[in-house]
């Protein structure tokens, strides 16, 4: 369902939207980002995994919101989060909660290092690599994998999943 | 499900000897007809069937190669078709183009090449050069073309070595004009098909002949103007046939009807190919039946003379459908092709239907996604308006003028919403028309006489729902004709008229639309259904079931297996899929059946998918919408009405009826909910044995909501059918009562297992 993207290091360079989450700065490919919206009330959906925070009304469309802290096994936020970043992967729209948006950064391929292997304890499969710019280190998210490893693929295989509204 | 034709073919082909030319021919024709006509099969299945026909044809043409090997190859191709069918019924039907290429590149196979030229080929093999494989095609094709004496063997395919494709759409063609042309021609084609079917009932209907004639003529004229020469040429020949009928040179026999209907199909496919060609800037792919039909049209007289023997051959084939012997004089089935011309001329009184109405309503074509977006935006506008109306600045004392203006705006917006909703409503007419054609084709193939009566085709339904019930209806109508209605002889023995009657009706009843399919066939044999269900372990022997419960067994998944097709008159084929499709659009299907007298299927659908009347309820900090149609009663229970059944069952006694209590806060794990039922509300929801008392904190009021999918990222949640935007702009979840009660009955009140949590 997802388009195969060339993941060789040379193709990783480009523009990234960066945001803060639990004190770290993360980046997501700008082409995946549809819009950034400020936090609004989220309707909890029962019987979903904890990292699905719920659903919101995005101008008449119902879209799910994902909590990356839960997904990555981090402790809950102490300060209220400020924004949701709406990304589009394989035709699926989903919002991702972030503490704060930082900037749009151009990161050259040469400045992207592969993620070091920390062993099985730490989830690095969600990362494309580590981007260096302006002396800061950003964790570049493989957003497609973040969304698709579990629930998106699991859901696409269900028969008769809602065909629009 | 596997079409009966393929099953039969697989059975026949293994018994054939290479010398039995008559039987081979009959089988070839059956396969060809299947490949060309059976719109329900996937392209791949049809391509395999076509390939099998090709191998058989090679035997008939005494092509080089061992006939016994060719027979085996034909048999393999039929097996592939059946496998493809099975694969297709497991997945969504889709065109597997790689499969087609594999077939087309089979060496020395003239017909497969003709299938190739008829099939859109992916860009890497097609390239953009129009004549891409002439070196391979020409010698082989010519070789077989030679073996066919032009008019003497009307059934043989003539492969035109040059006819690899239909050429390109001319560069100077005005694309917007082309779009209009395609859309208009499609309408004409639909009108022509309806008129053709009507002609079959009443061959004297000059007006109907003229309708078809005009349709073909218009296509021809415009196609020539657009520079689509192949299309224009084809339309010309189709038109010529009709003009001969109009001038009374030819009687409108079954054979002419078949040719005309096929012409109509090919024209339709041609238009599609033109459209595709423009989009992909590829050469126009000729429809699969093009070469064959063109040949038939060019040799009409020979074909019309030859058709009798071909039908007779089909009859003679072992194991073929039990058709009455097709001697020209016999009073064989009226839909059979062997009617004598004078028989045809006699108009059948009961079939005299109203002349096809010419719809001259002024209309504009709008893309459905734009329309849906409009409806969404109007919905948003209504919500935004109600937020303004509820704003403290407006409701503050002394703002009478402002309140009046705001409420006036609100009225207009609600009217706008109603109007936008109605734009999605379309009449059922086109769906019914397609089924008319299906009944005709299936009856013809099964050797039955079936009269289809339709009623209420102007009944309107949401566009999305019309699309969603099209497939289930095709399935059910096919079943009704193929298995429900008996053959003419059986019917006579049972004291019924020889012609079976299938009635398709649509009408509004309250807030629902009912689509009813009624046949006067043999009815459901409940004893055998029950026996089958016991054998399959779907019910236990010590369970006594009511009539309707036994009827409903045919919807059970797993009930529909190949052997039940014959055992219980085939009513089990894929009916579970039918029911699932209907339930997915919040519809319901019921059966009534009397053995020996017929069966009635009743599909009840909501008027539109878009709007649900709901009751907004509060549970803890959350709000949910319960569809109003599933609520029968709400009340605050007295403590003595409640009884606890250890370990954790709870029931409420209401007017002598004992109902299980389902605590919504428990099922959905909602914090801060009222836990003492005497301080809360019980809603009696669901129907029949599914009735339960649902515990909620408070009723917040009735509201019309627009149901929306929860988004692909969340998927299906058991017990939740979707979301609705509430008046404050937040999302409220709509409860799926039937799923929820069945969850409650099996005691599944746990949150969904987090099986895929990271």
pLDDT, greater one: B552 or A52: A52
Q: What is the pLDDT of residues B129-143, one digit of tens each?
A: 444 433 333 334 334
* R_g over Cα of chain B: 30
**Which residues are bridge partners to A52 per DSSP?**
A66
Alpha helices in B91-166 (DSSP H): 97-104, 110-118, 123-126, 134-147
Which chain B residues are within 8 Å of A88, Cβ to Cβ? none
Same domain, B455 and B577: yes
pLDDT-derived band at B518 (thresholds 50, 70, 90) equals very high
Same domain, B574 and B433: yes
Domain around B626: 611-745
| Most B CBs within 10 Å, among A43, A68, A84, to test the B interface | A43
Token digits of residue A114: 């592969």
Residue B153's pLDDT is 38
Q: Contact A55/B711 with Cβ under 8 angstroms? A: yes
Residue B81's pLDDT is 80
Q: List Cα–Cα distances, B501 to B439, B484, B597, in angstroms.
A: 11, 10, 11
pLDDT, greater one: B490 or B147: B490
Q: What is the mean pLDDT of residues B718-728?
A: 85
Which chain B residues are within 8 Å of A50, Cβ to Cβ? 754, 757
B353 has pLDDT over 90: no
Token digits of residue A117: 């292997």
* Nearest-angstrom CA–CA distance, B564 and A48: 40
Q: What is the mean pLDDT of residues B406-423?
A: 87
Domain presence at residue B82: yes
Interface touch B670/A46, C-beta < 8 Å: yes
Residue B755's pLDDT is 32
* Tokens 């009304």 -> residue: A57
- Report the range of poorest mean pLDDT among A68-72, A117-121, B7-11, B103-107: B103-107
pLDDT, greater one: A139 or B122: A139
Interface touch A62/B718, C-beta < 8 Å: no
pTM of structure: 0.49
pLDDT, greater one: B201 or B565: B201
- Report the range of poorest mean pLDDT among A77-81, B276-280, B376-380: B276-280
Q: What is the pLDDT of residues B244-267, one digit of tens each?
A: 877 777 777 778 888 888 888 888
Q: Indicate the residue among B606, B631, B659 that finishes a domain.
A: B606
Same domain, B481 and B627: no
Domain presence at residue B66: yes
A20 has pLDDT over 70: yes
Q: What is the mean pLDDT of residues B178-204?
A: 79
pLDDT winner (highest mean) among A45-54, B139-148, B414-423: A45-54
B567 has pLDDT over 50: no
Interface touch A60/B377, C-beta < 8 Å: yes
pLDDT, greater one: A78 or B148: A78
Other beta carbons within 10 angstroms of residue A125's beta carbon come to: 11
Which chain A residues are within 8 Å of B752, Cβ to Cβ? 47-49
B669 and chain A: CB distance < 8 Å anywhere?
yes
Residue B174's pLDDT is 65
A164 and chain B: CB distance < 8 Å anywhere?
yes
Domain presence at residue B349: no
Domain presence at residue B660: yes
Helix (H, G, I), strand (E, B) or coil at B234: helix
Alpha helices in B17-96 (DSSP H): 21-37, 43-60, 67-90
Q: Contact B517/B477 with Cβ under 8 angstroms? A: yes
B752 and chain A: CB distance < 8 Å anywhere?
yes
pLDDT-derived band at B89 (thresholds 50, 70, 90) equals low
Q: What is the mean pLDDT of residues B680-689?
A: 84
Same domain, B463 and B481: yes
User: Strand order in B500-509's β-sheet?
Assistant: B450-455, B500-509, B512-519, B598-606, B588-594
| Most A CBs within 10 Å, among B731, B743, B748, B752, to test the A interface | B731
Domain extents in chain A: 12-152
Residue B70's pLDDT is 79
Omega before residue B647 within 30° of 0, cis: yes
Residue B311's pLDDT is 39
pLDDT winner (highest mean) among B31-35, B111-115, B227-231, B462-466: B462-466
Domain presence at residue B153: yes
Same domain, B719 and B698: yes
B334 has pLDDT over 50: no
Write the DSSP string, B158-219: ---TTTTS--PPPTT--HHHHHHHHHHHHHHHHHHHHHHHHHHH-TT-HHHHHHHHHHHHHH
Same domain, B579 and B712: no
**Which residues are bridge partners to B682 per DSSP?**
B635, B695
B717 and chain A: CB distance < 8 Å anywhere?
yes
Q: Contact B625/B685 with Cβ under 8 angstroms? A: no
Residue A135's Cβ-side half-sphere holds a number of Cα atoms within 13 Å equal to 0
* Nearest-angstrom CA–CA distance, B21 and B73: 16
B553 has pLDDT over 50: yes
* Nearest-angstrom CA–CA distance, B579 and B738: 14
Q: How far is B667 from chain A (nearest CA, A)?
A: 8
Domain presence at residue B270: no
Residue B263's pLDDT is 84
pLDDT, greater one: B681 or B187: B681
pLDDT, greater one: B349 or B41: B41
pLDDT winner (highest mean) among A148-157, B117-126, B168-177, B322-331: B168-177
B533 has pLDDT over 90: no
pLDDT-derived band at B331 (thresholds 50, 70, 90) equals very low
Same domain, B526 and B567: yes
Residue B255's pLDDT is 80
Same domain, B496 and B586: yes
pLDDT, greater one: B589 or B747: B589
Q: What is the pLDDT of residues A26-56, one digit of tens each?
A: 999 999 999 999 999 999 999 888 889 999 9
Q: How far is A80 from chain B (nearest CA, A)?
A: 19
Number of compact structural domains in chain B: 4
Which chain B residues are within 8 Å of A64, Cβ to Cβ? 710-711, 713-714
Residue B394's pLDDT is 84
Residue B127's pLDDT is 40
| Most B CBs within 10 Å, among A39, A59, A60, to test the B interface | A60
Q: Contact B713/B633 with Cβ under 8 angstroms? A: no
Q: Contact B380/A57 with Cβ under 8 angstroms? A: no
Same domain, B455 and B311: no
Token digits of residue A159: 């028969």
Fold assignment, A12-152: OB fold (Dihydrolipoamide Acetyltransferase, E2P) (2.40.50)
- Report the range of poorest mean pLDDT among A74-78, B110-114, B424-428, B620-624: B110-114
Other beta carbons within 10 angstroms of residue B156's beta carbon come to: 20
Same domain, B465 and B580: yes
Residue A151's pLDDT is 44
Burial, B94: exposed, middle or buried (Cβ in 10 Å; 0-12, 13-18, 19+)? exposed
Token digits of residue B197: 């079917």
Phi, psi of B753, deg, nearest 5: -60, 135
A1 has pLDDT over 60: no
Whole-number average pLDDT of chain B = 73
Q: Contact A101/A17 with Cβ under 8 angstroms? A: yes
Q: How far apart are the first and last CA of chain A?
A: 21
- The distance between the two most distant Cα atoms of chain B, rounded to a whole number of Å, is 99
Q: What is the pLDDT of residues B568-613, one digit of tens each?
A: 344 444 777 788 888 778 788 888 888 888 899 999 887 766 667 7
Nearest to B712 among A46, A66, A155 (CB): A155
Q: Indicate the residue among B584, B606, B628 that finishes a domain.
A: B606
CATH number of residue B628's parent domain: 2.30.30.40
Residue A90's pLDDT is 79
Q: What is the mean pLDDT of residues B112-121?
A: 41
* Tokens 């005691």 -> residue: B747
* Nearest-angstrom CA–CA distance, B7 and B530: 26
Q: Indicate the residue among B580, B606, B632 that finishes a domain.
A: B606
Burial, B704: exposed, middle or buried (Cβ in 10 Å; 0-12, 13-18, 19+)? middle
* R_g over Cα of chain A: 16
* Nearest-angstrom CA–CA distance, B154 and B339: 20
Residue B238's Cβ-side half-sphere holds a number of Cα atoms within 13 Å equal to 34
- Taking the CA atoms of residue B347, residue B353, residue B356 and residue B360 in that order, the dihedral angle to the nearest 10 degrees is 150
- Report the range of poorest mean pLDDT among B83-87, B133-137, B535-539: B133-137
A160 and chain B: CB distance < 8 Å anywhere?
yes
Interface touch B717/A48, C-beta < 8 Å: yes
DSSP letter at A150 equals: I
pLDDT-derived band at B463 (thresholds 50, 70, 90) equals confident
Interface touch A64/B377, C-beta < 8 Å: no
Domain presence at residue B199: no
């Amino acid at each position: 369902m997802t388009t195969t993207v060339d993941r060789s290091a040379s193709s990783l360079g480009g523009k990234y939207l960066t945001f803060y989450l639990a004190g770290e700065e993360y980046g997501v490919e700008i082409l995946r980002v549809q819009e950034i919206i400020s936090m609004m009330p989220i309707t909890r959906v029962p019987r979903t995994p904890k990292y699905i925070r719920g659903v919101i009304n995005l101008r008449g469309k119902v879209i799910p919101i994902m909590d990356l802290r839960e997904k990555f096994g981090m402790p809950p936020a102490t300060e209220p989060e400020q924004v949701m970043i709406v990304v589009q992967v394989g035709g699926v729209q989903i919002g991702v909660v972030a503490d704060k948006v930082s900037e749009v950064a151009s990161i050259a391929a040469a400045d992207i290092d592969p993620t070091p292997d920390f062993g099985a304890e730490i989830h690095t499969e969600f990362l494309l690599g580590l981007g260096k710019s302006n002396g800061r280190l950003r964790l570049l998210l493989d957003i497609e994998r973040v969304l698709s490893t579990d629930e998106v693929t699991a859901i696409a295989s269900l028969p008769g999943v809602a065909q629009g509204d | 499900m596997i079409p009966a034709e393929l099953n039969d073919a697989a059975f026949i082909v293994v018994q054939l000897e290479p010398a039995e030319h008559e039987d081979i021919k009959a089988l070839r024709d059956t396969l060809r007809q299947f490949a060309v006509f059976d719109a329900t099969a996937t392209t791949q299945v049809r391509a395999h069937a076509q390939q099998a026909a090709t191998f058989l044809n090679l035997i008939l043409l005494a092509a080089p190669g061992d006939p016994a090997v060719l027979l085996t190859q034909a048999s393999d191709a039929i097996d592939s078709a059946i496998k493809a069918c099975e694969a297709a019924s497991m997945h969504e039907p889709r065109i597997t183009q790689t499969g087609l290429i594999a077939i087309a590149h089979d060496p020395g196979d003239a017909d497969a090449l003709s299938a190739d030229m008829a099939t859109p080929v992916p860009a890497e093999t097609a390239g953009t050069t129009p004549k891409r494989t002439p070196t391979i095609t020409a010698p082989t094709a010519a070789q077989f073309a030679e073996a066919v004496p032009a008019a003497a063997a009307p059934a043989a395919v003539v492969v035109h070595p040059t006819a690899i494709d239909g050429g390109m759409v001319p560069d100077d063609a005005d694309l917007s004009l082309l779009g209009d042309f395609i859309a208009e021609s499609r309408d004409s084609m639909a009108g022509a098909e309806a008129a053709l079917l009507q002609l079959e009932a009443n061959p004297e209907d000059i007006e109907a002949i003229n309708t078809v004639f005009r349709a073909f003529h218009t296509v021809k004229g415009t196609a020539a103007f657009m520079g689509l020469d192949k299309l224009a040429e084809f339309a010309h020949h189709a038109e010529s046939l009709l003009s001969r009928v109009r001038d009374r040179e030819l009687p409108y026999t079954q054979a002419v009807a078949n040719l005309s209907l096929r012409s109509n199909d090919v024209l339709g496919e041609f238009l599609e190919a033109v459209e595709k060609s423009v989009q992909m800037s590829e050469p126009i792919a000729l429809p699969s039946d093009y070469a064959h039909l063109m040949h038939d049209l060019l040799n009409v007289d020979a074909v019309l003379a030859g058709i009798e023997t071909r039908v007779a051959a089909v009859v003679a084939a072992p194991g073929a459908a039990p058709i009455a012997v097709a001697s020209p004089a016999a009073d064989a089935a009226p839909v059979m092709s062997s009617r004598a011309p004078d028989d045809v001329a006699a108009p059948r009184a009961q079939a005299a239907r109203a002349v096809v109405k010419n719809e001259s309503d002024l209309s504009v074509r709008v893309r459905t996604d734009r329309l849906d977006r409009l409806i969404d935006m109007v919905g948003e506008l209504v919500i935004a308006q109600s937020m303004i109306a509820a704003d403290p600045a407006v409701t503050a004392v002394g703002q009478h003028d402002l309140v009046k203006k705001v409420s006036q705006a609100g009225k207009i917006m609600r009217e706008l919403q109603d109007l936008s909703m109605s734009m999605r409503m379309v009449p059922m007419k086109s769906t019914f028309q397609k089924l008319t054609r299906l009944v005709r084709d299936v009856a013809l193939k099964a050797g039955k006489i079936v009269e289809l009566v339709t009623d209420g085709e102007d009944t309107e339904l949401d566009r999305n729902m019309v699309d969603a019930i099209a497939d289930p209806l095709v399935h059910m109508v096919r079943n009704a004709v193929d298995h429900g209605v008996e053959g003419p002889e059986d019917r006579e023995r049972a004291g019924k008229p020889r012609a079976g009657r299938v009635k398709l009706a649509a009408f509004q009843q309250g807030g629902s639309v009912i689509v009813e399919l009624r046949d006067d066939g043999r009815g459901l044999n409940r004893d055998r259904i029950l026996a089958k269900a016991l054998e399959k372990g779907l019910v236990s022997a010590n369970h006594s079931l009511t009539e309707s419960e036994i009827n409903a067994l045919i919807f059970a998944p797993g009930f529909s297996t190949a052997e039940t097709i014959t055992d219980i008159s085939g009513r089990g084929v894929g009916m579970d899929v039918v029911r699932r499709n209907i339930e997915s659009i919040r519809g319901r299907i019921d059966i009534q059946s009397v053995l020996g007298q017929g069966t009635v299927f009743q599909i009840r659908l909501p008027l539109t998918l878009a709007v649900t009347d709901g009751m907004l309820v509060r549970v803890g900090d959350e709000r949910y919408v319960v569809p109003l149609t599933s609520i029968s009663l709400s009340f605050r229970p007295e403590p003595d009405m409640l009884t606890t059944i250890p370990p954790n069952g709870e029931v409420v006694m209401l007017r002598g009826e004992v109902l299980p209590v389902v605590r919504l806060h428990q099922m959905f794990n909602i914090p801060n909910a009222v836990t003492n039922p005497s301080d809360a509300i019980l809603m009696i929801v669901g129907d029949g044995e599914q009735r339960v008392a649902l515990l909620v904190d408070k009723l917040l009021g009735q509201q019309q909501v627009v149901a929306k999918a929860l988004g692909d990222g969340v998927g299906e949640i058991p017990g939740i059918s979707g979301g609705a935007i509430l008046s404050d702009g937040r999302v409220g979840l709509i409860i799926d009562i039937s799923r929820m009660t069945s969850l409650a009955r099996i005691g599944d009140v746990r949150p969904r297992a987090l099986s895929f949590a990271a």
